Structure 1
Amino acid sequence: MPAHHHGHHHQGHHGRSHHGHDHGEGLAELLDLDAEVLREYHAGVVGWVREHAAGREPATIVDLGAGTGTGTLELLTQFPAASAVAVDSDAGMLDRLAAKAARRGLDGRIRTVVADLDAGWPAGLGEADLVWAANSMHHMADPGRVLRDIHAALPAGGLLALVELESFPRFLPADAGVGRPGLEERCHEAMAHRRAEDMPHLGADWAAALTGAGFEVRAERRFAADLAAPAPEATGRYALASLRRAREALADDLADDLADDDVAALDALLDEHGPHSILRRTDLTVRAERLGWIAARPS
């Protein structure tokens, strides 16, 4: 579930090629803030998966793109008899996951695997009863191949829970007093052009992709996060981290994407100690949507 890759949001730092720019403490912090602010959302998505797994509780769960552990830890909480294999291409992310698991007494139920799924299916993962892939599949160079690999790793009746972004998080009111109204939307529009080049599979027809890989789609659902002001205490830091990554991703050609007054307003928001810092705002909300699919390997 959420994370920011090249300035966008997703739930986990996902086990695929990160193209070099998705590493770092900033992304890890962002993932942890996403988990904190959207705790109920994440629990609700996993709860939906648990409903569809009723009568066939998984013994082994594989989290593809585990990041700092949001999905992994929630899955183990809601499937108390299961163990998990957390896969990610960033060893630092998995170290953070392991530390969090230890603090919660879950470390004995988790194994971490550093792997880049673009390089092939990791050896030694073994068979899984449930595969979780949250906001990771659109990063794959060949998601169809990865879906076929997942299909092969599941037993008959085994489940894949796939979650993908429908919209990226928004935090500011539309009429926020930050430069001209609509600053945040213009930032997202600028990022959309970048994503179209960097992540061509974003927004793909995942139901068709699942069917093409041999899965039977059992359920599809839209999940909306809509936290009104006053949002949770960590929302300011979450918004700061999100917009900061967008600012960094646009940095090379910022003048081509945003007008000068928008750049100035954005920089004022990102100045943690300035009078217009986003950390000082009391009107922040959190608005985002994601889509989920439950698919099974046919019996």
Structure 2
Amino acid sequence: MDWAEMAPHLVAQAELFTPLYERALAWLAKEVTEPGLIVDLGSGPGVVSGLFAETFPGARVLAVDGSEPLLEQAGERAARLGYADRFGTLAGELPGALDELDYPADLLWAGRSLHHLGDQRAALTTFAQRLAPGGTLAIMEGGLPSRFLPRDIGIGRPGLEARLDALQEEWFAQMRADLPGSVEVTEDWPALLGSAGLKHTRSRSFLLDLPAPASDRARAYVTDSLGRLREVYADILDPEDRAVLDRLLDPADPAGVRRRSDVFVLAAHTVHTAVKPA
């Protein structure tokens, strides 16, 4: 993936999903009190890093990512929003980049980034090693596929998004298989956290519910998301589904996302946490 090219989509998604992230961080704040260092693993352009800076005003926040252009955007965002004096960036591939930490972290956050690492179990072990005693590791993995439209949208066969989900599952499995050092693992996240030597695991899912009629910002996100699926799966889409997507993406079509009244955004993301023994 060209993460720098995806930056506008990453920013738009994180900003739209801010209510979900805020609830997740408020939940974390009940367990993690007065952290000194928070590390955002796979931070991208730093939208969620900024939410950590807001939620924990006494903490230093470090954004870690393999894309320097995205980290530049994260730094610019910190300066624009007024927390640059306690914000830093670290460029490098995970988990090795954590060798550069000056001191252990009180909170490590991996928001939908762990699945981009070939050996997830080994990565969690490395993450745990970089925690201070009593520190918390929080990963956002799993949840439910997002939904934007009713099952029957009046054009094409009902169940378009379910069929797109199936294509995405196949793509995800192939993406995982192609990662350097890829290791298959059962995605029992609490058990994996426990195998990394962490204790007191807990999990909770957080909902984003933006009902119809969608805002212009939500419609733009839905349009971008469906457009990327149309592009990635162009060669394997059912011809009828491809034609339906073309209509949904057509700004002049009354059945398109920009004009129809039944567009919404509904998503659920799950956060798993565990604590390093003191």
CA distance in 2, matches of 1:77, 1:294: 20
Q: Does residue 264 of structure 2 align to residue 285 of structure 1?
A: yes
1:78 pairs, out of 32, 55, 61, with: 55
* Structure 1 residues 223 and 203, CA gap change in structure 2 (3 angstroms): farther
The answer on 1:47 being equivalent to 2:26 is yes
Q: Which residue of 1 aligns with 2:212?
A: 229
Identity of aligned residues (%): 37
2:181 aligned partner = none
Residues 65 and 90 of structure 2 are in contact (CA less than 8 Å); yes or no, is this contact kept in structure 1? yes
CA spacing shift, 1:288–1:199, aligned 2, 3 Å: farther
- Which has the bigger relative contact order, CA under 8 A and spacing at least 6? 1
| Cα pair distance change 1:191/1:225, threshold 3 Å | same
Report the more deviating stretch, 179-188 or 195-204.
195-204
**Aligned partner of 2:101 among 125, 132, 150:** 125
Q: Is the 8 A contact 2:4 2:67 kept in 1?
A: no
Distance 1:185 1:174 in 2: 8
Partner deviation per Cα, 1:156-188 (whole Å, 9 max, x = no partner): 101111111322211111121232222122111
Q: How many residues of Structure 1 are paired with residues of Structure 2 in the alignment?
A: 271
Q: CA deviation at 1:121?
A: 3.8
CA distance in 1, matches of 2:191, 2:157: 41
Please provide the CA RMSD for this pair: 1.9
Instruction: Provide the rounded CA distance (Å) in 2 between the counterparts of 1:103 and 1:282.
Output: 35
Q: Distance in 2 between matches of 1:103 and 1:274?
A: 38
Q: Distance in 1 between matches of 2:115 and 2:144?
A: 14
Alignment of 1:204-223 (within 5 A): 204-223=187-206
Q: Matched residue of 2:132: which SS? A: coil
Aligned twin of 2:152: 175
* 2:91/2:97 contact within 8 Å kept: no
TM-score, structure 1 normalization: 0.85
Query: Gaps spanning 5+ residues in structure 2: where?
Result: 178-183
User: CA, structure 1 residues 95+144, in 2 after alignment: closer, same or farther (shift >3 Å)?
Assistant: same
The answer to which of 198-207 and 34-43 deviates more is 198-207
* Shift of residue 238, structure 1, vs aligned partner: 0.6
Deviation at 1:141, TM superposition (A): 0.6
Query: Residues 117-169 of structure 1, C-alpha deviation per residue, up to 9 Å, x if partnerless?
Result: 16x24432232111011111111111111111111111110111111132221
CA distance change for structure 1 residues 99 and 274 in 2, over 3 Å: closer, same or farther? Answer: farther
Corresponding residue number in structure 1 for 2:247: 268
Structure 1 residue aligned with 2:277: 298
Corresponding position: 1:100 with 2:100: no
Deviation of the 1:94 alpha carbon: 1.3
Instruction: State the distance in 2 between where 1:290 and 1:129 align.
Output: 23
Secondary structure at the aligned position of 1:132 is classed as strand
TM-score normalized with structure 2 length: 0.91
Q: 1:133-152 to 2 correspondence within 5 Å?
A: 133-152=110-129
Which one-letter code corresponds to 1:172 in the other structure?
L
- Asked if structure 1 preserves the Cα contact closer than 8 Å seen for 2:190 and 2:201, the reply is no
8 Å contact kept, 2:90–2:97: no
| AA at the equivalent of 1:158 | G
Query: Of residues 172, 175, 188 in structure 2, which corresponds to 1:195?
Result: 172
Tell me the residue number matched to 2:3: 23
**Amino acid across the alignment from 1:268:** R
CA distance in 2, matches of 1:294, 1:184: 30
Report the residue type matching 1:105 in the other structure.
G
* Residues 214 and 37 of structure 1, relative CA distance in 2, 3 Å threshold: same
1:238 corresponds to 2:221: yes
| Mean Cα deviation higher: 41-50 or 144-153 | 144-153
Counterpart Cα distance in 1 of 2:185 and 2:82: 36
Distance in 1 between residues matched to 2:92 and 2:230, nearest whole Å: 29
- Asked if the contact 1:63–1:86 (Cα under 8 Å) also holds between the matched residues in 2, the reply is yes
